[in-house]
């Protein structure tokens, strides 16, 4: 029996998805068909029933249904759970309707081709809650463990493709405009902040929280933080602190601030003008730009304190300084956060951003790739993902479990070259 797949959205007649999917079905002699499904919002329950009845094997979702379909889903997984936005729906082996979001992987797979008839690229999130909350590390962990555990070719290719994409964005010759109108964390930083234009709003929230899952600020995030003041960069890296538009603009991590009510108008203006140079894009964005409010700034009142506590070159010194200043309520909170992070991740993250301060993005990404393979092989990564994102017991069993046991020999292992397996980046 022919398996049926489809895509829903409005408008949707322009979609090339059926052509692409059916091409591959025919090429590999798969008895399946992929079609456009035109429905109204009130028809979503009937669509879900078709999947439950196995009349449809699965569907892809595009605007305006990415969020509207969420109430009809039994389980949200991975980025769909974080963003409350779904682009893939299917029935699992237990008869559960599952909603997933694979948008980041789609961008990773596509890479960035220099196409003559493309003047510029705009990238945005679905809805206004989140731009991108990070890569699908839960799915990676599940598939790697199912494959017999680390290290595997899957973990190598996952990060290889991701870091290659980050580098390609940084070298893209045409305007690359990121509208980060919402949560922008982890992998979301990598696909947004290496382009030519990064536009934030009052809804933007930035963080690199990787030390909480046994990792480090990757996707070139370590390079971004390494260019900042030593103390500020270390604070953002180690604590995974969240900052908003005012601080992002102050630190030059974004290029423009536009209020959320004007973001859609800005996007349409860029699309209609089709600018082909950075200056032309600047001219358009400047028409909508304003100064962000200071009320959400963490740095205004705490910048000097952060610099004092986090400018040291060892974790032990940073801990000692935080203990000395622990009567300060803000620093007390930062210190408590630090104590829950992976000790190994803290040490390698600090060394990473200190190294990054005098490295190119290319060299830093190569360094990151070495680090991440060690995190998968001998680090706390899978345990951190388990504790924070899978079981959600928030009780990771870090190995080792204290700073003193993470010696320099162990730290240096994470930075050793991989020989023929090193990341290769070309312009």
Catalytically annotated residues: 135, 187, 210, 218
Asked if 213 and 137 touch (Cβ cutoff 8 Å), the reply is yes
Identify whether the C-beta of residue 51 lies closer than 8 Å to the C-beta of residue 96: no
Q: Say if residues 143 and 78 touch (Cβ distance below 8 Å).
A: no
Cα–Cα distance list, 365 to 72, 160, 176, 193, 357 (Å):
40, 10, 20, 14, 13
Question: What is the phi/psi pair of residue 97, to 5°?
Answer: -80, 115
For 189-216, the three-class secondary structure string (H helix, E strand, C coil) is HHCCCCCCEEEECCCCEEECCHHHHCCC
Give all strands of the β-sheet with 176-180 in edge-to-edge order.
Answer: 121-124, 176-180, 197-200, 256-257
Grouping H, G, I as helix, E, B as strand and the rest as coil, residue 100 is strand
User: In angstroms, rounded to a whole number, what is the distance separating the alpha carbons of residues 180 and 273?
Assistant: 21
Question: Phi then psi for 5, rounded to 5 degrees?
Answer: -125, 165
Under a CB-based contact definition with an 8 Å cutoff, are residues 33 and 3 in contact? Answer: yes
Strands 88-91 and 58-61: antiparallel
* DSSP conformational letter for 387: I
């Amino acid at each position: 029996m022919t398996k049926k797949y489809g895509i829903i959205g409005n408008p949707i007649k322009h979609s090339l998805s059926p052509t692409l999917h059916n091409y591959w079905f025919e090429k590999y002699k798969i008895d399946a068909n992929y079609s456009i499904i035109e429905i109204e919002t009130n028809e979503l329950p009937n669509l879900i029933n078709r999947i439950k009845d196995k009349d449809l094997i699965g569907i892809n979702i595009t605007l305006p249904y990415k969020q509207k379909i969420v109430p009809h889903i039994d389980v949200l997984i991975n980025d769909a759970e974080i963003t409350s936005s779904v682009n893939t729906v299917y029935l699992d082996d237990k008869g559960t309707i599952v909603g997933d979001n694979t948008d980041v992987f789609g961008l990773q797979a596509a890479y960035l081709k220099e196409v003559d008839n493309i003047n510029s690229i705009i990238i945005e999130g679905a809805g206004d809650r989140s731009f991108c909350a990070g890569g699908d590390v839960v799915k990676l962990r599940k598939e790697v463990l199912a494959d017999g555990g680390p290290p595997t070719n899957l973990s190598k290719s996952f990060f290889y493709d991701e870091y290659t994409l980050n580098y390609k964005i940084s070298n893209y010759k045409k305007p690359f405009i990121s509208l980060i109108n919402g949560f922008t964390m982890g992998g979301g930083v990598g696909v947004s902040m290496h382009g030519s234009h990064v536009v934030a709003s009052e809804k933007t929230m930035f963080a690199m929280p990787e030390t909480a899952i046994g990792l480090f600020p990757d996707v070139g995030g370590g390079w971004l933080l390494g260019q900042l003041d030593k103390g500020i960069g270390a604070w953002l890296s180690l604590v995974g602190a969240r900052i908003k538009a005012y601080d992002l603009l102050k630190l030059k991590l974004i290029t423009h601030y536009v209020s959320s009510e004007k973001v859609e108008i800005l996007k349409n203006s860029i699309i209609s003008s089709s600018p082909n140079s950075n200056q032309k894009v600047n001219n358009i964005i400047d028409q909508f730009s304003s100064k962000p409010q200071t009320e959400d700034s963490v740095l205004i009142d705490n910048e000097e304190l952060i610099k004092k506590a986090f400018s040291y070159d060892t974790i032990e010194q940073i801990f000692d300084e935080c203990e000395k200043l622990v009567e300060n309520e803000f620093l007390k909170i930062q210190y408590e956060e630090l104590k829950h992070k992976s000790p190994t991740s803290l040490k390698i993250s600090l060394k990473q951003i200190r190294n990054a301060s005098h490295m190119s993005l290319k060299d830093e990404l190569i360094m990151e790739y070495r680090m991440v393979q060690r995190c998968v092989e001998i680090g706390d990564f899978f345990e951190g993902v388990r504790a924070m994102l899978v079981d959600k017991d928030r009780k990771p069993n870090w190995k080792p479990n204290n700073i003193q046991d993470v010696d320099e020999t162990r730290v240096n292992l994470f930075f050793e070259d991989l020989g023929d397996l090193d990341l290769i980046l070309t312009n």
